[in-house]
A = this chain, B = another copy of it.
Amino acid sequence: MKLAYKLWLDHHGKAFGDGPYELLKRVKKTNSLHQAAFQMSMSYSKAWRLIRTLEERLGFALLERKTGGISGGGSKVTPEASRLMKQYGQFRKEIEKTLTELFHKHFGQGL
């Protein structure tokens, strides 16, 4: 028996969670939403729509877009998105630890 869970930040709908966090981490590494989406087996259009939806719900931009150039532009994580990623990452880590502890406390002896 194990504990399973999903969690997300909600503001007029899903505003941030593990999927977006992972996507933005990959954008940060690659400076490319195309690359990040590809790495997550997500279509670029889906990733783009996701980002736009989250930006609307959060009320700030997550990506700065650079257009044109021989590389076809690129994407950079905004300072606000960086801060959110840091907050979320710490939160997520503490949640994981705490939930594991609580599960063992209540179900460690079995059902």
Q: Which A residues lie at the B interface, using CB under 8 A?
A: 1-11, 14-15, 58, 60, 80, 83-84, 87-88, 90-91, 94-95, 98-99, 102-103, 105-107, 111
B106 touching A90 by the CB < 8 A rule? yes
**How many copies of this chain?**
2
B94 touching A106 by the CB < 8 A rule? yes
A11 touching B7 by the CB < 8 A rule? no
A83 touching B111 by the CB < 8 A rule? yes
Alpha-carbon distance between A10 and B103 when the two chains are bound, in angstroms:
12
B111 touching A102 by the CB < 8 A rule? no
A107 touching B80 by the CB < 8 A rule? no
Closest chain B CB from A29 CB (angstroms): 22
B95 touching A111 by the CB < 8 A rule? no
